[in-house]
Amino acid sequence: MSLDPSPIKTAGVSHFSTIDPQAGELFSVNPGVCVEDALEHASCLMNCVNQLTLLGATEENPGATIWAAHYLGEMAKAIIDDVATGLFRARGHA
């Protein structure tokens, strides 16, 4: 078994936190991050989302908790979308 000398990287094309339709998104995923590292980070973000939504479901006034979960979910989705683009490009599909 040989190790691949060039690991697959994020593409840097996914954005998140839309300000308004004309201004676009405030943040983006950086290109060149190893997909394994990016997916690990997305998994950690989704764990936070799961904990916050459970907490929010039991709070009397869950506003801040739910918004925090929403923004973390946006980040995780952008990472996963960007990893997918990097994988497609590495396989010659884009």
pLDDT in tens, 43-91: 999 999 999 999 999 999 999 999 999 999 999 999 999 999 999 999 9
Q: What is the pTM of this model?
A: 0.88
Which positions ≥6 away from 83 have C-beta within 8 Å? 10, 35, 38, 39, 42
State both tokens at 88.
């497609």
Does position 30 have pLDDT exceeding 80, yes or no? yes
- Dmax (CA) for the chain in angstroms is 55
CA distances from 8 to 79, 86, 87 (A): 14, 7, 7
With both helix axes pointing from N to C terminus, report the angle between 63-90 and 35-58 in degrees, rounded to the nearest 10: 160
| CA 10 to chain CA mean position, Å | 11
